[in-house]
Amino acid sequence: QMQQLDALVRMLIDDTEKLLYPLAVSIAGDPSVRKILEAGFRHIELGDAEAEQASRDALYSLLEVRWQEMRNVVELRQVHFLTADGISFLRMHEPSRHGDGLVSVRPLIRRALATGQPQTGYEVGRLYGGVRVILPIRGADERLRGLVEVGLSMGPILEPLTREMGMLSALL
């Protein structure tokens, strides 16, 4: 029975990855997002903190409505942008918190930066465990410029399972 439960949880995680992937692609592929990120990353390289913050604010403003819709409809937990060295640029769920490095604590981010390839899976971060999809963002020169991460905590994923298990136990 534990094997069946494990298989079911893995299936739920896989299904969640399939749900999150197109969301991440739509964000990473948005020309306006890419333009703002490119400017923000350039301001970081130039050490222009004021212009960097203006880019961060512009990105938040651009995505705020879409972010709220994704939170309400699919209970999305995070949309997070990182630089090519794994430094947080913007957390839509906590926009005032940025500038911290995540490579040492987040294996999926480390792998995405090392390979330049999308990464998906369950991962425990600093605040929650959940299913995450991380996509590279490349500049016009195809150089890796950063990452976008979308994530969903396990609560909404496991809720149908726990509801089903509760119904099953009531029947037994």
**Element at 164 (helix H, strand E):** helix 154-171
pLDDT, mean of residues 140-168: 77
pLDDT at residue 12 in the model: 81
Question: 75 or 107: whose pLDDT is higher?
Answer: 107
Of how many residues is the chain composed?
Answer: 172
pLDDT 10s digits, 35-80: 999 999 999 999 999 999 999 999 999 999 999 998 888 888 899 9
pLDDT at residue 165 in the model: 62
pTM: 0.88
Residue 6 structure tokens: 């494990």
Asked if the model's pLDDT at residue 2 lies above 80, the reply is no
pLDDT at residue 153 in the model: 82
Asked if the model's pLDDT at residue 3 lies above 60, the reply is yes
Q: Per-residue confidence at 141, pLDDT binned at 50, 70, 90?
A: confident
CA distances from 61 to 8, 34, 72, 75 (A): 38, 14, 18, 20
pLDDT at residue 126 in the model: 76
